[in-house]
Structure 1
Amino acid sequence: MNRPLRNAFGLASLLALAACGSSGPPAPPKEAAIAAFATVQQVFQHPRCQNCHIPGDAPLQFDNGLPHEMGVARGPTGHGAQGLPCSTCHGEKNAPASYGPHAPPGAPHWALPPPEHKMVTIGLSAPALCEMIKNKSENGGRDFAALLKHVSEDKLVLWGWEPGGNRVAVPVPHADFVAKFKLWSDAGGPCPAT
Structure 2
Amino acid sequence: MKIMQINASARSAGANSTRLADAVTARLKAQNPQAVVELRDLATNPHPVLDEPSLGALFTPAEQRTPEQVARVALDDVLIAQVQSADTIVLGVPMYNFGVPVQLKTWIDAIARAGVTFRYTASGPEGLLKGKKVYVALARGGLYRDTPADSQVPYLRSVLGFLGMTDIEFIYAEGLAMGAESTSKAFAEAEARIEELFATREQVPA
- Tell me if TM exceeds 0.5: no
Q: TM-score, normalising length from structure 1?
A: 0.26
Q: Larger strand proportion, structure 1 or 2?
A: 2
Q: Which has the larger radius of gyration?
A: 1
